[in-house]
Structure 1
Amino acid sequence: MIDFHAATEQGLSDLLAKGILTTDQELVIRGWNQWLEIHSGQRAEEMIGQRLFDVYPELRQRVGHYYTQALAGQVVVLSQRFHGHLLPLTPMLSGSSLPYMPQSVRIAPLRQGEQIIGTLTIIEDVTERVLREAELQRQVASLEALYEIGLGILSLNLSECLQQVVEKSATLVEAPLVAVVLRQHGGLHVVARAGQGELAHPDQVGGAVESVMRSGQLLSLSDLLQEPSLTPLDPRSRSLLVMPLMVGEAIIGALVVESTEPTAFDKEARRQVQRLATQAAIAIANARLYRELEEAVQLRDIFFSIASHELKTPITTIKGYIDLLLRRASREGTASPRDLQTYGIIHDESSRLNRLIDLLLDLSRIQSGQLELTLEKINLCDVAEQLVDRLRTTSQQHTLVLSCLQSPLVVEGDPLRMEQILQNLLQNAIKYSPNGGTITTQLDLQGGRALLTVSDEGIGIPVEARAHLFNSFYRAGNVSEAGTSGMGLGLYIVSRIVEAHHGTIHVTSELGVGSTFRVELPLSQGEEQPDR
């Protein structure tokens, strides 16, 4: 006689914090442990003896074939990211708004000796991981919002930028009303708003805003019924946040966030509002500066610098702390694989944003004529060899080929900027070759000048886009269709660096076949031409 109880309990003492469900070959439930009793509300004696698909008929279509595979001797792992949950269990973590407990599931054959007598299903509650990932996504969304607002600041269009601030704020803190109030024309006026909230009087901002404009301090009220004198913009609101907008020591306005629910905003929401208010204040300050300056180009350069530095400070802080956590985890070995994965995501995303900010800083230096070069003799072959070797370790999908002359190919240039040129061209070749392929870097001599060529087998560049490819903030149409991100600054910066070295850059391309970028640079004076 088959002893399902013994087969279920044997060797499973370490799985008491997981659900264990066993069935026979007919998928009749034979084991239902205490964890499942607690989380499903179904007692074991009520479940044992029933067919699994009779109790949960929706499972037949969703996972019936996986149980068939288990009875055939295969082990099936169902990831929460793709399957969500197996059984409709209630999440036990307090504060969770998830409808069902997120679950990681393993369905395996249940054996007695060499004989398969049924199935063994192990269910793990991954609610904490899902909530951590959701929190990480929220933090990344916050950084993305700050970055996009930063770009809005650079546009010098104050109304559009403030509208973006209120819309991003409403999304991030899930508020029905967000508004920017400014002191202008002798009074306080709402100049931008987002959400479904209604203003009681468009020309009256209420006691709460007036209080903040006097004090210059953040006002946070969890229940407006307790403070009848501090009236909101929307008379239906029950809680609010009002953050002053400061330019230097001057209070120029306020960012107002309201909700019809009491106690709607936690500490994290207050931090979000403070960061967004800072961005709104920067936008206002920059717009006023724009009206005072005679040269719009000069002012735009200042905006680039201000915005980039304002964004770089928090990103650098985040990156520094996550690097510290990674080093500590490596040294002490206390972090779980899931925590290490989370640290890695934060590190990669903050590094990506840091690189974008560096592009903005380079753009500012170029357009203000402050791009400084430290010239020295450089062997381009050495630069290319080091960079290609480095990229080979991180780009497994592509084949990177390097062809150099036997003799040094020496130019006079800035080492960091020479590396930046080649790195940008290679990274573009990788990015815009999503299906892999060969990327060839060739260094040669042509007409007494050094010739650097980077070719890929990627998506190619449309004919109409090639004339604009080296303009700032320009991106070809097929790039967006392919889903690749970017700001359209990399090639513009490369072209200006090449020009600063008295060189030229050209591109040839065939749509769907690939692209080739050619950079020509003068050889260092006094250097012998290398043998071909």
Structure 2
Amino acid sequence: MADRIGARVALSVAVSFVALAIQWVLWDYFKPYVWFLFFPAAFFSAWIGGLAGGLVATLVSALLVWFFFIPPTFSFALSNPAAGYSIIVFVLMGALFSWFHERLRLAMLRTDEARASAEATNDRITRLYEKTLELDKLKDQFFANVSHELRTPLTLILAPLEQRLRRPASADSPAEEQHETEIMLRNARLLYRHVTDLLDVAKLESGGMTLAWSKIDLARLLRNTAANFESAAAQRHIAYTLNFPPTLPCEADAEKVQRVVLNLLSNAFKFTPDGGAIALRLSQEGSSALIDVQDNGPGIPVALREAVFERFRQG
């Protein structure tokens, strides 16, 4: 560090001697402007050597001009007080140049340090982001694998339960046992649906979700879907209103539309208090169908509405 500063100071002083040599050769053209080349030399020396180099070069330049160009030449005597004032002004200007360039150098140094720190921080953020993406991918893969592994045993549970319910009640299979089997089947189907939802989330995020388009009667589909909640509405004294046209033919993925409506109605019944009201409406707007689910539950807090479609978020 000290060697670098010394080299810069030496180079700054060398600039003063270069100015001396040029002005000495061309003095007949510059006379009587004794500081003609030394002001630029002082400025350039300050730029090269910073505060130390600029100050040393300024003092050296002042002595060189005083000795070689200010009458009486080749001495440090002064025949004119104005010449002494010019020396003072030059030294002050050289000091100002040196201070300015030092401040500029320090500012540039801080800027470089801040840029390097910002780049390092950005690199860390990038690495963390890439690691987050990798972990998120592993998590999605885990959910997909778990969901896939759960569907097989659930299918094996559902099949014998459905077969058992097809048998008529008998002494070996009384009505009470049939009722318990129905409860088991209903909950197994619910769990199967949740597992399927997890698989669909994984497919959506990986871009693997496909739609099975077909011509359907949307009004009939919603009517059958809404019927699943009629008993819950009656038990909880909820005013359950359905407003559909007689038919509404369209092209859609029936299974996915039904799942969306089931989720909307499930949430509506979950958060609507007993004695409340839930309405399911279907209408046509131009070439589109509008499905509207309304309830008088507490609603979604304003602070959570932006995150309503994020996974694992609930208000």
Tell me the TM-score normalized by structure 1.
0.31
Select the structure with the greater relative contact order (CA < 8 A; seq sep ≥ 6): 2
Structure having the higher Rg: 2
